[in-house]
Amino acid sequence: MDPVIAWHTEHVYFHQLLGVLQRQLDLFHRGEPPNYELILDVVSYLSEYADKTHHPREDVAFARLVKHCPDLELALARLGQEHRVIEHAGETLLGLIRAVLGGAVIARAEIEMAAATYLVYYGNHIAKEEEDVLPRAAKELKPEDWEAVRNAVPQIRDPLFDREAGGRFRELRRQIALEA
């Protein structure tokens, strides 16, 4: 697959997952109980897959791209910094959700704030990459750059689409299919 299309495709389904999270957050506003397991699945998946593969590959793509496009230096540095912020915000949210599922009493406002921060930050991050980075990368990066991007981390099967991995993310797959 064309590397930019593959990159964009991951953004599309990350965006869908954030939509799943958004709808759970909307339940808070309606005073209905959210599905904490589903929230846990979304954030676990993004922590385990996006933080460990998508973002490290982007970090290499950004380092390569800045050599071709020095005008993007500040924008790319900010996006790289955001990867670390997203990882941290995800860990905070995961910690809260795991605590709730473990029976701890946590103020609803605290979970809402952590989830909303994660959503807004992540959504804006993806939008910026789509707008500012992917079109330039498509134009400027050479086959050897893409090879370095691919080799940034070992190839792993995407657990969301790996049906052999069992039913762990089955509900998440169903939710995405509903959205598609």
| Nearest-approach distance from CB 122 to Fe ion, in angstroms | 9
Report the residue number, 34 or 45, with the smaller CB distance to Fe ion: 45
Report the residue number, 41 or 58, with the smaller CB distance to Fe ion: 58
Quote the CA–CA distance of 70 and 173 in Å, as a whole number.
39
In the numeric block, which tokens belong to residue 108? 């609803």
Report the residue number, 62 or 169, with the smaller CB distance to Fe ion: 62
Cβ proximity of 100 and 3 under 8 Å: no
User: Which region, judged by CB under 5 A, interacts with Fe ion, from 15-23, 50-58, 103-111, 112-120?
Assistant: 50-58
Tell me, residue by residue from 111 to 150, as one string, x for binding to Fe ion by CB under 5 A and - for no binding: ------------------x---------------------
- Degrees to nearest 5, angle at CA 49 with 47 and 54: 105
Cβ proximity of 88 and 44 under 8 Å: no
User: Which region, judged by CB under 5 A, interacts with Fe ion, from 58-66, 94-102, 147-155, 162-170?
Assistant: 58-66
Identified binder of Fe ion from the candidate list 58, 89, 90, 93, rule CB under 5 A:
58
Report the residue number, 100 or 149, with the smaller CB distance to Fe ion: 149
Interacting residues of 48 by C-beta distance below 8 A, sequence separation 6+? 159
| Nearest-approach distance from CB 97 to Fe ion, in angstroms | 23
Report the residue number, 129 or 145, with the smaller CB distance to Fe ion: 129
- Degrees to nearest 5, angle at CA 68 with 64 and 72: 85
How many residues contact Fe ion, by CB under 5 A?
2
DSSP per residue, 114-149: HHHHHHHHHHHHHHHIIIIIHHHHHHH--HHHHHHH
